[in-house]
Amino acid sequence: MIRRRGSGILLHITSLPSKFGIGDLGPAAYQFADFLSQTAQSFWQVLPLNPTDPISGGNSPYSSFSAFAGNKLLISPELLYREGFLEKSDLEEVTPFPPQRVNYPAVLEYKNQIFNKAFAQFKKNECDFEFDKFCEESEEWLDDYALFIALKNHYHGKVWSDWPESLRDKQEEALNSVRQRLTREIEKEKFLQYIFFKQWTELKHYCNQNGIQIIGDVPFYISYDSADVWTNPELFKLDENKKPTHVAGVPPDYFSETGQLWGNPVYRWDAMQGTGYRWWIKRIEHNLKYFDFIRVDHFRGFAAYWEVPASETTAINGRWVNSPGIDFFKTLLRRFPNLPIIAEDLGVITPDVRELIHEFEFPGMRLLMFAFNQNLPNHPYAPHNHIENCVVYTGTHDNNTARGWFEQDATEEEKQWLFKYLGREITAEEVSDELVRLAMMSVANMVILPIQDVLGLGAEARMNRPSSTEGNWEWRLSAEQLNQEVIHKLREITELYGRY
């Protein structure tokens, strides 16, 4: 339950300014934390920080090789230099990157070069107590992850189930052999994880010191091609060849006649229960170490999930399967008495999901841009129907910006409902400010605003288009956009509606 009134900004790390082609955990992240402090914000929400898959995952932070590891692309070259792992020339000899979009292939090529230099410098040191301590504390997930990535690189990106059978099945003799052959590659992956979590921990500490809490994001499902599924195949519905028998998705609805086939392997909840949900407890514990709140994506999966045979090409021929949500969260709460979870409960939510959210008093989400239709008087997203224990957004990373919605997506009827609600007609230039104001004046204790809506940006600043695989996760902010006018305006509205 959220017990105090506040507001914050949604901005993923990749969208921060940086001359290295992608936002990172360096100086611009600290400058953004200062911006949040100057504007009286209480929260910074980010997307998942796990490693992204550039091939099958399209660089989506929701498609990862690990539920525990950090994304090495977010490591700051400037902080590597300050820590003595790079030369000053490594920061100066940088081919100019496009400032407004992330060019992932170019960024990956550049950062791999500096990571190799940093690791070579690290190896010159006889010992590093902090590195050894990190490896020891993270051993339960780090050893498997580092070996998994080393093997993926060795087999040129092949899915783990297509590796030699002895490695696919994790036979100890075969694993010991490759550990010896790939010792340096394994240690390099551990080094990069050490650096990532060191940089992230220092940034989080800085934010917390300045009164800013970090909201992380935990996807419900795990990617099939991940260290987690390779290491724990018994927890997922796989066949004798370790291929999925069933995959995840959502059924046909108003937006899609064939539903959505996501392809993630589905959980064997009976096996999860048999271990006391050990893997999930470790996952939540890990995330609570690095975030103050966690937003759980696709929360409805804890009540029931849509399961589709792996042989299907659409999500039509699936079925609903119940999850042990009540038992699961009771078990979690015995381990974490104050569980700071935000439930992503968007879309079609059935009574069993509402019951689960109500039972444990988890705050759900309210999206303003979806409120303005013929159901407005009774719509739960409409401001007059908000409750204190919820999180209000103008939109999320999966939606258009407020201005983009108004200009491209909103029907004439939706615009008329919005005009009636505001008591006047507005222009595209005004819609972002108006939705921000509606959010901030809400009775809801927490408001999260995408930075794009604070700045009044259009569809060109959209982060993700779920129906498309091209051009997503690329948008970037420029330092000049967070000027004194923006700071004054955001702070004023934050104080006006009692969120300071």
Active centre residues (catalytic):
297, 344, 398
Q: How many CA atoms lie within 13 A of 310 on its CB side?
A: 14
Number of H helices, E strands in the chain: 19, 12
Q: Please state the three-class secondary structure of the chain as a single string.
A: CCCCCEEEEECCHHHCCCCCCCCCCCHHHHHHHHHHHHCCCCEEECCCCCCECCCCCCCCCCCECCCCCCCHHHCCHHHHHHCCCCCHHHHHCCCCCCCCECCHHHHHHHHHHHHHHHHHHHHHCCCCHHHHHHHHHCHHHHHHHHHHHHHHHHCCCCCHHHCCHHHHCCCHHHHHHHHHHCHHHHHHHHHHHHHHHHHHHHHHHHHHHCCCEEEEEECCCCCCCCHHHHHCHHHECECCCCCECEEEEECCCCCCCCCEEEEEECECHHHHHHCCCHHHHHHHHHHHHHCCEEEECCHHHHCEEEEEECCCCCCCCCEEEECCHHHHHHHHHHHCCCCCEEECCCCCCCHHHHHHHHHHCCCEEEEHHHCCCCCHHHCCCCHHHCCCCEEEECCCCCCCCHHHHHHHHCCHHHHHHHHHHHCCCCCHHHHHHHHHHHHHCCCCCEEEEEHHHHCCCCHHHCCCCCCCCCCCCCECCCHHHCCHHHHHHHHHHHHHCCCC
Buried b / exposed e across 452-461, counting CB within 10 Å, b at 16+?
bbbbbbbbeb
- Residue 342 forms beta bridges with which residues? 295
